[in-house]
Amino acid sequence: MISTNDFKTGVTIEVEGNIYSVIEFQHVKPGKGGAFVRSRLRNLRTGAIIDKTFNAGITINTAMIEKAPMQYLYVDGENHVFMNNETYEQVELNKSRIENELLYLTEGMTINIIFYGEEVLGLELPDKVVVEVIETAGSARGNTASNAFKEALTNTGLKVLVPLFIEQGEKIIVSTSTGKYDTRAK
């Protein structure tokens, strides 16, 4: 159990049978009436974001989630297969549940799978990933503008704007939170 006064970003709670992660929260003490906590929550099953207001000081059940490092193995039709490197247990996730995350996954990559008991909620990507540019437009000769970009397609299917000097076959680092080019990979 956790009090609404003890909310922190990233805390997982169980409300009305759903599991949420706290994204934002704000304690409000109006001039008239009791204090309350305004919060923004992400449903860990559906990914939907809701705004919810709680009375200050009430207790809410915490949801005990676990994160297990697993290696992305392969695609099996509509399912993507991950394996725990310690127990060799395999978990399959349907493409529809991890469609956005697939743009950053490459085979052999180790990521965290999020569990609530035996239920698989999804996966947690690292902040940045290395991907390979498989297609890009050629840069115009003499174009030396300092902030000029061109579109590139990566081996994962992600389309990203890259500087003009990035060529096909190069590895780049991309931010998983913004989907933007960060730097060249070494």
pLDDT in tens, the chain (186 residues): 999 888 998 899 999 999 999 999 999 999 888 999 999 999 988 888 999 999 999 999 999 999 999 999 999 999 999 999 899 999 999 888 888 889 999 889 999 999 998 888 888 889 999 999 999 987 655 555 567 899 999 999 999 999 988 999 999 999 998 999 999 988
How many Cβ atoms from other residues are within 10 Å of residue 57's Cβ?
13
Q: What is the pLDDT of residue 14?
A: 93
Q: What is the pLDDT of residue 47?
A: 81
- Of 115, 109, 108, 160, which is closest to residue 137 (Cα–Cα)? 160
Domain ranges of the chain: 2-62, 65-124, 128-184
Asked if 2-62 and 128-184 have one fold, the answer is: no
Structure token digits, residue 116: 């609530």
Q: Give residue 108's region: left, alpha or beta (phi > 0; psi -120 to 50).
A: left
Q: What is the pLDDT of residue 97?
A: 84
Q: Write down the architecture of domain 2-62 according to CATH.
A: Roll (2.30)
The superfamily (CATH) of domain 65-124 is Nucleic acid-binding proteins (2.40.50.140)
Name the amino acid, one letter, at 129.
V
Q: What is the pLDDT of residue 141?
A: 58
Residue 72 burial by Cβ neighbours in a 10 Å radius (0-12, 13-18, 19+): buried
CA angle (21, 124, 115) in 5-degree steps:
65
Predicted model pTM: 0.74
The superfamily (CATH) of domain 128-184 is Nucleic acid-binding proteins (2.40.50.140)
- Of 118, 72, 123, which is closest to residue 97 (Cα–Cα)? 123
Note whether 93 and 100 are within 8 A (CB): no
